[in-house]
Amino acid sequence: MTSGDPRVRRTQETLQRALIELVEDQELSRISVADVVERAGVSRSTFYDHYRDVHELAEVACTAMIDALIDSMPRPSGDAAHSLRAFFAHLAEHAGLYRSLLGPQGSARVIDHVRRRAMLGSYRGARGITDPSEDVPHDVPAAFTAGALIGVATDWLQRGCPRSPAEMAALTWPLLAALYPDGARPASLHS
């Protein structure tokens, strides 16, 4: 969706920034193309030159933030509890955005993107795969871990983040570790 033309990139960034600002204040399902173009200061035809609808724009606009979210998830090396704290801290920092995008009125495209990125990140990280084009087979532990983390995170966000990121990490890590007794945890969760 990105172009080498600086004008196209600027327009896309303007539309993405406008949507992110709007989502911080209201549910994604209530945001229209008209709202986005008004905030961005562009025409409807310019919007449709770049995106099919608000949900496609949301998916593209959140890619960098989602990638940062996935990057903060547990990795094969390092302190897993620290990684979980970073994961929940990132969510808390952008709670309005994630609450809207991952909640019941959110974007199925964004939810699926987060789930797939979390699963692929877990699978590739556990196996040292750096080539993003390499085919990744279905991996049950990676899919289960991604689903569990997204489920816990979504519930926490929908409840208004009642616990601190550190508390969430402390509560979540033992549950994830207990799912894989006798060291059979997926490599992506080894600390």
* Segment 124-165, tens digit of pLDDT: 555 555 555 555 677 787 788 888 888 999 999 999 999 999
- For the chain, give the longest Cα–Cα distance: 59
Q: SS3 of 4, please? A: coil
The reply to whether 50 and 73 lie within a common domain is no
For 21, the domain range is 6-54
pTM recorded for the entire structure: 0.69
Q: Are 65 and 142 in contact (CB under 8 A)?
A: no
Beta-carbon count within 10 A of 81 CB: 16
- Provide the pLDDT for residue 135: 59
Residue 47 shares a structural domain with residue 75:
no
Label residue 184 exposed, middle or buried (CB < 10 Å: 0-12, 13-18, 19+): exposed
Distance CA 136, CA 31 (A): 35
* Same-domain check for residues 92 and 146: yes
Same domain? For 122 and 37 the reply is no
